[in-house]
């Protein structure tokens, strides 16, 4: 049995008002008020307000994460992308962004990318890489070229020179035709035959003067003459067929000549303009190749520049419809234009849909259908961040359909391809744009929760391949004089960033105390920046309301109080129910097998403690402790584990020389929801031992803590909320000086209790008892020494353990006697007499 | 109006002021045969609309064609086949063409709200047209191009050409050309004059008429206007439509044939 001294329970001598404990009547002293709260001394700060402080450039307590980010960003190897993890509000985004911005500024500017028409396969636009800023230049140059051609080409084709040459070609054809028909006509005329045009073709007929020889007259002609005419006509028809065939050939040749003429004139007009452009882009082979293709296409499609006026004929030899968007194909879509920006890009994609990541081909409505082309290609964040850094939120990324898949595909392929979802999923097979893929060279930084990191690592083998570096943000930092100073600067930095009133040193001290309470540890401070910033923002408001120029400690208090007040509706209803006796909680007197346990209820980002009555009953049985919560499936696994530990504890301590012949049941009274956690196991054990020993427990006390098989008390969470919760209930009924809470000694360092509790403790109206063992807890709760085994292994009879031992021995004997009497009765009745009683 | 004192014998520029009044051209005759000519049809319809005149279509079934179809050995040569030319088939083809022309005239007339008529006669185009044109103020003859003669066809935006010899019918031709010409469109006035002073006088006369109509023109003076010369001019300028007065001496079938090979013709009376 151990009597914990003050040194073991925290820093300094916190004990007072001892309570008798254990066999030696060791006293368990309640904690001193100083132990209930680790004050931050404002005098340690040598500034009046945060305005006097230098801005903090590094993050408090995040050296591990910073180094990981530094490494992840610095290493230029495949798959070394970053996952930055930590709860929301830690300032991950700010830190990473800040770091990336600095890093990006030292890196060379990323390339411009433009999409241009693929003249051979228009549905596969070509991507061209240009040095930063020259993509826009190329677009302007091409626009200017097309503008100039729109003037130059029409004037070229309206020139006298062109018209003369064109008419010469036409005349040649006409003359060929005329000549052929003229010769044929003359030959026919020599035989008094003429060529006639019929509705569908031509026919030869013998003539007499200006009239066709009629059938009757023809019949009168000599047979030889008839035959001769027929033969001549047949020969002429053959020749006519030959002419018709030659005309088709001549017309084809004529068209070819006109095309050649057009090409010649086009080339003369286009050539020098293209050459000028090529000189400007001589260092870019891709652009030169494109300009060659443009020139060829311009020469072949000169008609697009010479749109005929309404009612006028098209350019000869190049008949064909004029597409109103025809000149569109010479445009340059500046897909990624860096303009004058220096350094690599840093992009944060707030809405990481699949299309926002990999880009899209937009459509426009045209004649009732949706059409697209290379000018409607829009970049995604992967394109925009190419050559630099892309930041993504893990949760948003994973909740957008196919966004994660799209990202992985691009990272694996090392290129990003604008591809519609339906195409990617092979849902449709219509002809769609297939733009040339753009090589990818960027670092992806995903920011998210730890749970997502571990889940991805567990279930997605690609994740480990692609995100090899993790940066884990600390949620707490040691609290000492040095970190207090840094924290003060951090507060000053947040104030500047948010343009708030500066805080005086008392307010800074108060925020530091609050930062310790947030992490429930008097020796540590939170690094959750959002919590701190929110308090500062609210305090700034209250300072304004109070007409103060700087934020004072009162404003911090008010901000914290108001945060609690706004969230405490449910809490107040529960406490009211306890005060009105709806929820049965005794706070005075003593009861056997009944104890005040403490639980924490979490509602959103607010949590509070609630006292719960735990009762235990015992009877003769087979050594089982029944957890009624578990039986009705209201208890969680951890709670069940705690209860099973009680059985082991009882058997190990009290049933070494006889069977444990009791059955017990434990209940969380008036609990209609789930119960989990083992923080009530100490209370349950005390209630159980009280029931066995038939010794009452002080109801003015509540207890929290878990217990192991050896009776050692282990720390629990939410100690501050639990104490404050029971305090509120007791305060409502009137503090008598008997009230208090028994807590694990290992939780003393976590105490950051509110001022009300501290004040009551200082006035001796409320007490916090730290215990290290169940025996200490029993002695505090029952006012009896727990007792210690003597040399023969027996407990002192008047000690609590002695009472338990005696009672359990009695129960064992009763059970044994009962079993023997049953055996005898059965034997008397001629039975087998071999009844085996379980547990015997 | 052969007895009209404004005949071509009279010195140009000496017309009385009363004659400068716009003469009402009330009836337009469009004569076409199996050589379908959309340009002539459009021009006739546009003229009728511009002048608020009636449009009278005349389809001439070439009697020579029908006669030759009666010969037993005559074959029709087309781009695709050589086949026996049956008279019944030929008549059917001509009826189809006539019906097509009728529908086109009806459509144009409805669109422009014109009074219209249509008739079919049998004979030679020029003879039949001139015979029917006695009741018309203007008659439009379709082009007879070379076979397969797409090349060298009149330009749809080509100029209008008018032969102006100072006669009343030439004045009507000029007026019709102005009515048909679009804003900014070229108008070529050919002045058939034997000597420079005469050409100048004719131009002055034409200018004064065009001034009244608010339309400028280009002038070409030629001492000896022959059909061959005119044909060359039509080809060179890619003339869209040729306007002549019936008294110009070109309205004989032998003179008209080469001209009709180049462009449709509008003859004013």
Rounded Cα distance between B188 and A757, Å, is 113
Decide if B83 contacts B89 (C-beta within 8 A).
Answer: no
Task: State chain A's mean pLDDT as an integer.
Answer: 87
Helix ranges (H only) for chain B are 38-51, 63-69, 87-112, 125-132, 168-180, 196-213, 227-236, 253-262
CA A694 to CA A808: how far, in whole Å?
Answer: 11
Q: Are strands B82-84 and B218-222 parallel, antiparallel or unpaired?
A: unpaired
List Cα–Cα distances, A615 to A422, A521, A665, B13, B26, in angstroms.
Answer: 63, 31, 8, 135, 121
Note the pTM of the prediction, 2 decimals. Answer: 0.68
Evaluate if residue A318 carries a pLDDT over 60: no
Q: B77, B99, B258: best mutation site toward chain A, by most A Cβ within 10 Å?
A: B77
Spell out the residues 6+ positions from residue B140 whose beta carbon is closer than 8 angstroms to its own: B28, B29, B30, B31, B40, B43, B44, B47, B264, B265, B266, B267
The backbone torsions φ and ψ at residue A497, rounded to the nearest 5 degrees and listed phi first, read -60, -35
Q: What is the dihedral of CA A806, A812, A813, A819, to 10 degrees?
A: 170
Looking at chain A, the whole-number percentage of residues with pLDDT higher than 90 is 51
Q: What is the largest CA-CA distance in chain B?
A: 63
A149/A73 Cα distance (integer angstroms): 49
- End-to-end alpha carbon distance in chain B: 8
pLDDT of residue A21: 47
Question: B146 vs A313: CB contact, 8 Å cut-off?
Answer: no
* Rounded Cα gap, residues A341 and A770, in angstroms: 63
User: At what angle are helices A719-733 and A755-762 packed, to 10 degrees?
Assistant: 60
Query: How far is the C-alpha of A651 from the C-alpha of A688, rounded, in Å?
Result: 13
Higher-pLDDT residue of A160 and A744 is: A744
Q: What is the mean pLDDT of residues A540-548?
A: 96
ipTM of this complex prediction, to 2 decimal places: 0.78
- Of A784, A786, A773, nearest to A711 by C-alpha is A773
What residue in A sits closest to B157 (Cα-Cα)? Answer: A312
Could you tell me if A786 and A799 are in contact, meaning their C-beta atoms sit under 8 angstroms apart? yes
Catalytic entry in A257, A722, A749, A765? A722
- Residue B33, Cβ neighbours under 10 Å: how many? 27
Binary contact (A205, B74; C-beta < 8 A): yes
Closest alpha carbon to A203 in B72, B112, B113: B72
Which of A174, A201, A212 is facing B152, going by the closest CB pair? A174
Show residues of chain B in contact with A229, CB under 8 Å.
73
Q: Which of A610-619, A637-646, A679-688, A700-709 has the lowest mean pLDDT?
A: A637-646
pLDDT digits (tens, 9 = 90+) for A196-207: 888 888 888 888
What is the CB neighbour count within 10 angstroms for residue A195? 19
Instruction: Output the pLDDT for position B254.
Output: 79
Strand order in the sheet with B241-245: B116-123, B54-62, B27-32, B138-141, B265-268, B241-245, B160-163, B187-192, B218-222
**pLDDT tens profile A804-816:** 988 888 888 888 8
Closest partner residue to A197 (CB to CB) among B35, B94, B152 is: B35
Taking contacts as CB-CB distances below 8 angstroms, the residues of chain A near B148 are 177, 244, 247, 251
Work out the pLDDT band at A589, boundaries 50, 70, 90: very high
Cα of B157 to nearest chain A Cα, Å? 5
Distance CA A307, CA A153 (A): 11
Our answer to whether residue A268 is catalytic in this structure is no
- Dihedral sign computed on CA atoms, order A811, A812, A816, A819: positive
Subunit contact A199:B97, Cβ cutoff 8 A: yes
Would the pLDDT of A626 be above 80?
Answer: no
pLDDT in tens, A425-480: 777 767 678 999 999 999 999 999 999 999 999 999 999 999 999 999 988 999 99
Q: Any residues with CB less than 8 A from the CB of B5 and at least 6 apart, and which?
A: none
DSSP code of A790?
-
- Best residue in A178, A205, A246 for a mutation probing chain B (most B CBs within 10 Å): A205
Q: Residues A88-114, buried b or exposed e (16+ Cβ, 10 A)?
A: ebbbbbebbbebbeebbeeeebbbbbb
- pLDDT value at residue B11: 33
Give the span between the Cα atoms of A484 and A490, in whole angstroms: 10
Q: Inform me whether the pLDDT recorded for A15 exceeds 90.
A: no
Candidate from A62-76, A122-136, A310-324, A393-407 with smallest mean pLDDT: A310-324
Q: Quick check: A205 and B68 CB within 8 A?
A: yes
CA separation, residue B84 to residues A199, B61, B71, B78, B163 (Å): 14, 19, 10, 11, 44
A354 membership: H or E segment, kind and range: helix A354-358
Q: What is the pLDDT tens value at each position of chain B, 269 positions in all? A: 333 333 333 334 434 333 444 557 789 999 888 877 788 888 899 889 888 899 999 998 888 888 888 888 888 888 778 888 888 888 898 999 999 999 999 998 998 888 999 999 988 877 887 787 777 888 898 887 765 544 455 666 788 999 998 888 898 999 889 888 865 567 889 988 876 668 888 888 888 888 877 788 888 888 888 888 888 888 888 888 899 998 887 777 778 878 888 888 899 88
Q: Which of A106, A795, A47 minimizes the C-alpha distance to A489?
A: A47
Inter-axis angle of helices A223-280 and A160-190, nearest 10:
170
The model's pLDDT over A228-248, given as tens digits with 9 standing for 90+, comes to: 988 998 899 889 988 888 888
Residue A840 annotated to the active site: no
What per-residue confidence (pLDDT) applies to B9? 36
Can you tell me the distance from the alpha carbon of A589 to that of A700, in angstroms, rounded to the nearest whole number?
Answer: 7
Q: Which of A410, A679, A681, A779 is catalytic?
A: A679
Greater model confidence, A543 or A88? A543
A→B contacts (Cβ < 8 Å), by residue, are 170-171, 173-174, 177-178, 181, 196-206, 211-215, 218, 229-230, 233, 237, 240-241, 244, 247-248, 251, 254, 309, 311-313
A215 vs B149: CB contact, 8 Å cut-off?
A: no
Of A197, A205, A254, the CB nearest to B151: A254
Contact criterion met (CB below 8 Å) for B218 and B187? yes
pLDDT at A4 over 50: no
Under a CB-based contact definition with an 8 Å cutoff, are residues A197 and B34 in contact? yes
Instruction: Give the whole-angstrom CA distance, residue A683 versus residue A726.
Output: 14
The predicted structure's pLDDT at residue A656: 78
Is the model's pLDDT at A210 over the cut of 80? no
Q: Which residues of A339-375 are buried (b: 16+ CB within 10 A; e: fewer)?
A: eeeebbbbbbbeebbbbbbbbbbeeeeeeeeeebbbb
């Amino acid at each position: 049995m151990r009597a914990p001294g003050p040194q073991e329970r925290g820093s300094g001598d916190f004990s007072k008002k001892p309570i008798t404990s254990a066999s030696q009547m060791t006293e368990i002293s309640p904690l001193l008020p100083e132990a209930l709260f680790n004050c931050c001394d404002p005098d340690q700060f040598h500034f009046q307000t945060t305005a006097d402080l230098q801005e903090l450039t590094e993050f408090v307590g995040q050296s591990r994460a910073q180094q990981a980010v530094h490494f992840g960003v610095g290493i230029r190897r495949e798959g070394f992308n970053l996952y930055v993890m930590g709860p929301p509000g830690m300032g991950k985004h700010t830190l990473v962004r800040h770091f990336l911005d600095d890093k990006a500024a030292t890196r060379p500017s990323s390339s411009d990318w433009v999409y241009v028409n693929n003249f051979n396969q228009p549905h596969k636009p070509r991507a061209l890489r240009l040095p930063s800023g020259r993509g826009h230049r190329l677009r302007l140059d091409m626009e200017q070229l097309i503008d100039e051609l729109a003037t130059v080409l029409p004037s070229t084709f309206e020139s006298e020179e062109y018209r003369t040459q064109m008419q010469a070609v036409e005349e040649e054809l006409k003359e060929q035709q005329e000549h052929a028909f003229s010769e044929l006509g003359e030959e026919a005329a020599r035989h008094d035959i003429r060529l006639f045009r019929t509705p569908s073709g031509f026919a030869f007929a013998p003539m007499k003067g200006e009239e066709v020889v009629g059938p009757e007259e023809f019949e009168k002609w000599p047979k030889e003459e008839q035959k001769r005419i027929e033969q001549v006509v047949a020969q002429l028809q053959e020749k006519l067929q030959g002419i018709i065939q030659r005309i088709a050939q001549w017309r084809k040749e004529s068209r070819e000549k006109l095309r050649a003429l057009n090409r010649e004139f086009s080339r003369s007009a286009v050539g020098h303009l293209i050459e000028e452009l090529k000189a400007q882009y001589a260092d870019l082979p891709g652009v030169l190749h494109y300009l060659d293709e443009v020139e060829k296409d311009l020469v072949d499609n000169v008609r697009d520049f010479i749109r005929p006026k309404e009612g006028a004929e098209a350019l000869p030899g190049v008949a064909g419809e004029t597409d109103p968007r025809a000149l569109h194909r010479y445009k340059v879509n500046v897909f990624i234009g860096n303009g004058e920006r220096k350094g690599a890009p840093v992009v944060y994609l707030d809405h990481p849909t699949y299309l926002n990541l990999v880009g899209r081909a937009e459509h426009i409505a045209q004649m009732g259908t949706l059409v697209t082309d290379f000018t409607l290609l829009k970049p995604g964040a992967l394109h925009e961040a190419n050559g630099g850094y892309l930041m993504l939120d893990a949760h948003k990324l994973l909740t957008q359909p196919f966004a994660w898949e799209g990202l992985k595909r691009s990272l694996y392929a090392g290129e990003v391809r604008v591809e519609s979802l339906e195409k990617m999923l092979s849902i449709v097979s219509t002809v769609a744009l297939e733009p040339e893929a753009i090589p990818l060279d960027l670092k992806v930084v995903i920011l998210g929760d730890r749970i997502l990191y571990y889940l991805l690592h567990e279930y997605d083998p690609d994740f480990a391949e692609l995100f090899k570096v993790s940066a884990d943000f600390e949620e707490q930092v040691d609290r000492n004089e040095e970190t207090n100073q840094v924290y003060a600067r951090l507060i000053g930095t947040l104030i500047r960033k948010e343009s708030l009133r500066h805080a005086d040193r008392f307010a800074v001290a108060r925020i530091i105390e609050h930062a310790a309470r947030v992490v429930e540890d008097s020796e540590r401070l939170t690094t959750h920046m959002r919590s701190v910033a929110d308090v500062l923002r609210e305090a700034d408001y209250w300072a304004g309301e109070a007409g103060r120029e700087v934020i004072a400690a009162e404003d911090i208090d008010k901000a914290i109080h108001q945060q609690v007040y706004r969230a405490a509706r449910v809490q107040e209803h529960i406490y009211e129910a306890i005060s009105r006796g709806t929820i049965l909680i005794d706070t005075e007197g003593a009861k056997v097998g009944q104890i005040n346990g403490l639980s924490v209820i979490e509602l959103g980002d607010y949590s509070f403690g609630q006292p719960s009555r735990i009762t235990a009953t015992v009877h003769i049985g087979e050594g089982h402790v029944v957890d009624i919560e578990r039986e009705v499936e209201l208890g969680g696994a951890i709670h069940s584990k705690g209860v099973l530990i009680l059985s082991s504890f009882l058997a190990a301590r009290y049933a070494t020389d006889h069977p444990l012949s009791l059955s017990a049941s434990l209940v969380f009274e008036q609990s209609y929801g789930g119960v989990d956690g083992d923080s009530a196991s100490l209370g349950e054990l005390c209630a159980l031992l009280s029931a066995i020993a038939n010794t009452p427990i002080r109801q003015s006390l509540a207890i929290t803590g878990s217990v192991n098989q050896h009776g050692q008390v282990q720390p629990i969470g939410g100690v501050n909320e639990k104490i404050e919760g029971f305090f509120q209930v007791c305060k409502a009924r009137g503090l008598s000086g008997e009230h208090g809470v028994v807590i694990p000694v290992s939780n003393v360092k976590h105490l950051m209790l509110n001022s009300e509790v501290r004040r009551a403790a200082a006035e001796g109206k409320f007490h916090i008892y730290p215990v290290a063992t169940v025996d200490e807890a029993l002695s505090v709760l029952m006012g009896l020494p727990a007792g210690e085994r003597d040399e023969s292994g027996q407990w002192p009879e008047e000690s609590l353990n002695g009472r338990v031992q005696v009672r359990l021995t009695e129960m064992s004997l009763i059970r044994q006697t009962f079993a023997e009497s049953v055996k005898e009765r059965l034997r008397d009745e001629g039975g087998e007499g071999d009844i085996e009683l379980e547990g015997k | 109006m052969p007895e009209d004192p404004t005949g071509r014998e009279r010195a140009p520029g000496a017309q009385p002021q009363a004659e400068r009044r716009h003469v009402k051209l009330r009836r337009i005759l469009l004569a076409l045969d199996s050589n379908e000519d959309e340009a002539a049809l459009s021009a006739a319809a546009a003229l009728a609309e511009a002048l608020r005149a009636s449009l009278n279509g005349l389809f001439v079934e070439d009697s020579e064609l029908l006669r030759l179809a009666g010969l037993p050995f005559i074959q029709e040569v087309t781009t695709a086949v050589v086949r026996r030319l049956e008279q019944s088939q030929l008549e059917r083809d001509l009826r189809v063409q006539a019906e097509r022309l009728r529908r086109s005239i009806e459509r144009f007339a409805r669109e422009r709200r014109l009074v219209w008529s249509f008739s079919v006669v049998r004979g030679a185009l020029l003879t039949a047209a001139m015979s029917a044109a006695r009741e018309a103020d203007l008659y439009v003859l379709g082009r007879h191009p070379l076979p397969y003669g797409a090349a060298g066809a009149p330009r749809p935006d080509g100029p209008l050409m008018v032969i102006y010899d100072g006669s009343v019918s030439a004045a009507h031709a000029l007026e019709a050309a102005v009515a048909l010409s679009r804003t900014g469109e070229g108008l070529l006035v050919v002045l058939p004059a034997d000597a420079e002073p005469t050409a100048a006088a004719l131009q002055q006369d034409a200018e004064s008429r065009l001034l009244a109509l608010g339309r400028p023109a280009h002038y070409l003076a030629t001492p000896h206007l022959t059909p061959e010369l005119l044909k060359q001019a039509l080809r060179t300028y890619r003339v869209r439509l040729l306007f002549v007065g019936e008294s110009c001496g070109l309205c004989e079938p032998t003179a008209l044939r080469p001209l009709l090979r180049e462009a449709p013709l509008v003859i004013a009376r």
